[in-house]
Structure 1
Amino acid sequence: MVYLHFVLGLALVFGLALLGNIKSWRSVKVRYVLQLLVVELALAWFMLNSQVGLAIVGGFADGFGKLLEFAGQGTDFVFGGLLNDGQFSFFLKVLMPIVFISVLIGILQYVRLLPLIIRGIGSVLARINGMGKLESFNAVSSMIVGQSENFIAIKNILPHLNEKQMYTLAATAMSTVSMSIVGAYMQMIEPRYVVAALVLNMFSTFIVLNILNPYQPDDSVTLQKPELDAKDAEALAEGDQHHTPARENFFEMLGEYIMAGFSVAVIVGAMLIGFISLIALINYLFTALFGMNFQTVMGYLFYPLAWVLGIPAAEAMQAGSIMATKLVTNEFVAMMDLGKVSAGLSARTLGMLSVFLVSFANFSSIGIIAGAVKALNPAKGNMVSRFGLRLVYGSTLVSLLSAVIVGVML
């Protein structure tokens, strides 16, 4: 039955991707789709079932756990005494560590290690994914520096990119998550699934885009050396299109990345306040009018999808509701909902949902990505806005594919 649902899940994802590319389905790169699928299945088995893979994933998760302990010491020093023993604060315990992780990314960026990692992994990916070097580098860069800040590294070539290229770059940014926020996820869902999703989503993105948005890559457009710093991110946020990256001294860089990390934490916190409050209001209205809340209604709508993916029928309603919540709000809200019901879910369902939630594929990301691009190039930002819904569509298929891959391994 597991393998049947695996085949059904693949057929569903591939069918929906073809539906989004109905006019040029003949140009789908079947060879690369199959090649990437085999690689992704092998990586999923290695990370989730082999002793060596489990040890590596566990080591990565433990390393992040230790970093979170260090971050907790800084948080406790500043905010200690605000909580009584045994109390939990989402902002202090989950969001504040983003500041410390941001600092570490800044240090790796300052010593020029991140550009080497980005180019190294990107070069390998470009050989197997059927995409160009720019698209491959962008996927790795998005995962490390973030879906908005990443575009600074390619700002000078944005005017030369066509719509298909812009769709691919925006979709890879929406389908991944930045390393600065991974620690927050690991405190909400099982860390090994966060690590697995980071890797699998990258390959799922290339598979889906080879079906949904195929084109001949143009390697004559090359990526700039990605030397993003926090001042560049600030310039992006302020819409300064003429900002030129400048080399900072080490302590100036630390200060910039500390503030950048704190800004991310505050922004995520503000979004959660708005979304959770809005969901509470909508649930109240739906209950008053229809006798069931909004999330239950969405659970019914997503029930068939969850079942096809291989989630047991008894759990498909809850799973569908969580999947829908992630789509219409964000992954943090959905992860909190998953935490409330996780004890009653099977290990397979929990793993599939966890991997599905680890991405930025939701409606709010349209504005984030379009705004980031528009600050650098208004014309391309408007282009991203125009295919915004299709962007969420493709990125959601990426999350579904990663969940299907994980489902067959559990």
Structure 2
Amino acid sequence: SLVAASVMAAPCALALSKLVYPEVEKSKFKSEEGVKLTYGDARNLIEAVSSGATISVKVVSNIIANLIAYLALLAFINSVLSWLGNMVDVDGLSFQLICSYILRPVAFLMGVSWEDCPVVAELLGIKLFVNEFVAYQELSKYKQHRLAGADAWAGTRKQWISVRAEILTTFALCGFANFSSIGIVLGSLTSMVPLRRSDISRIVLRALFTGTCVTLVNACVAGILYVPRVAKVDCTSLLNTTLSSSSFEVYQCCFEFFQR
């Protein structure tokens, strides 16, 4: 799924970027005269390596500084929301929790069943607010619960989501568009072209929105092409031989019997 999502993201990102930021002027890069490559002043390989290493230190330091600043800002916002939530007796109020409510219609439009939408929306909020790696870690926990045959609900919270929801969420999380990446983009691009700092800062939120839409569109396409695998299980022999098992197949068989 991740490989397919990565391949699908390239043409989708190009198409959506043209829609969000249309090219209304004639491009300067349609002819060879418009493409002028500049060459460094290095006279040999050793000088080129040394010059590149010196430049990279500035780029990396700018990325780290911007990343720390934006992560600190996001942590401050979460702390303020948590403090406000405690004042009105709302435990665990955070940006992720707010996103889990705001993004439920988005998850439903992706093709996720409504009962799985709160979990998927929360994962989308984690990906948008923190990063996709933390969101994938949370998704893996839900998958482990499903494979272990855990109960679908633990109180008012779902323990696992359907296979279809897992696949769609995998596609929706496969992207670099999150608030913490704003610092990385600003730090890397502004260090290379410092004169365009204001232009980059102006369109970085638009790029974040476009990147998020790319992953959501990929998830929608995956939902259209998804074909569920219906595995036929001999429930009678399975239950006679593995009564003490807690596998997902046993859960399916028991669920089918009790539904009859």
TM-score, scaled relative to structure 1: 0.40
Shift in Å, 1:319: 0.7
Aligned to 1:359: 175
Task: State the identity %.
Answer: 24
Shift in Å, 1:339: 2.1
Which ranges in structure 2 are unaligned for 5 or more consecutive residues? 39-47, 147-159, 227-260
Selected match of 2:130 from 315, 329, 342: 329
Selected match of 2:35 from 209, 222, 225: 222
Shift in Å, 1:329: 1.5
Shift in Å, 1:347: 1.7
Q: What amino acid does structure 2 have at the position aligned with 1:208?
A: L
Equivalent pair of 2:129/2:179 in contact (CA under 8 Å): yes
* Residue pairs, 1:93-104, within 5 angstroms: none
Give CA-to-partner distance per residue, 1:161-186, whole Å, 9 cap, x none: xxxxxxxxxxxxxxxxxxxxxxxxxx
* Residue pairs, 1:199-210, within 5 angstroms: 199-210=7-18
Shift in Å, 1:299: 0.8
Please say if 1:302 is aligned against 2:113: no
Mapped partners of 1:276, 1:341: distance in 2: 26
Mapped partners of 1:284, 1:349: distance in 2: 29
Size of the alignment, in residue pairs?
A: 189
Mapped partners of 1:353, 1:231: distance in 2: 43
Selected match of 2:90 from 291, 298, 301: 291
TM-score, scaled relative to structure 2: 0.61
Selected match of 2:119 from 318, 321, 326: 318
Q: What amino acid does structure 2 have at the position aligned with 1:236?
A: S
* Residue pairs, 1:341-360, within 5 angstroms: 341-342=142-143, 343=146, 344-360=160-176
Please say if 1:232 is aligned against 2:52: yes
Mapped partners of 2:166, 2:215: distance in 1: 14
Give CA-to-partner distance per residue, 1:308-336, whole Å, 9 cap, x none: 11111001111111111111221122222
Mapped partners of 2:10, 2:101: distance in 1: 30
Mapped partners of 1:325, 1:389: distance in 2: 17
Give CA-to-partner distance per residue, 1:183-223, whole Å, 9 cap, x none: xxxxxxxxxx2111210110110121232222254323438
Which ranges in structure 1 are unaligned for 5 or more consecutive residues? 1-192, 240-259
Aligned to 1:95: none
Judged with a 3 Å threshold, the aligned counterparts in structure 2 of structure 1 residues 407 and 363 are, in CA distance, closer, same or farther, namely same
Mapped partners of 2:73, 2:89: distance in 1: 21
* Residue pairs, 1:105-254, within 5 angstroms: 193-215=1-23, 216-217=26-27, 218-220=29-31, 221-222=34-35, 232=52, 235-239=55-59
Judged with a 3 Å threshold, the aligned counterparts in structure 2 of structure 1 residues 409 and 282 are, in CA distance, closer, same or farther, namely farther
Coordinate RMSD, CA, aligned = 3.5
Equivalent pair of 1:371/1:381 in contact (CA under 8 Å): no
Give CA-to-partner distance per residue, 1:332-388, whole Å, 9 cap, x none: 222222222233121221111112212110122222112212112212233111222
Mapped partners of 1:238, 1:371: distance in 2: 9
Equivalent pair of 1:276/1:333 in contact (CA under 8 Å): no
Mapped partners of 2:58, 2:91: distance in 1: 43
Mapped partners of 2:206, 2:72: distance in 1: 25
Equivalent pair of 1:329/1:363 in contact (CA under 8 Å): yes
Mapped partners of 1:335, 1:223: distance in 2: 42
Judged with a 3 Å threshold, the aligned counterparts in structure 2 of structure 1 residues 315 and 368 are, in CA distance, closer, same or farther, namely same
Q: What amino acid does structure 2 have at the position aligned with 1:200?
A: M
Please say if 1:409 is aligned against 2:232: no
Shift in Å, 1:276: 10
Selected match of 1:388 from 194, 204, 208: 204
Shift in Å, 1:392: 0.8
Higher helix share: 1
Mapped partners of 2:50, 2:114: distance in 1: 47
Shift in Å, 1:233: 6.4
Judged with a 3 Å threshold, the aligned counterparts in structure 2 of structure 1 residues 224 and 326 are, in CA distance, closer, same or farther, namely farther
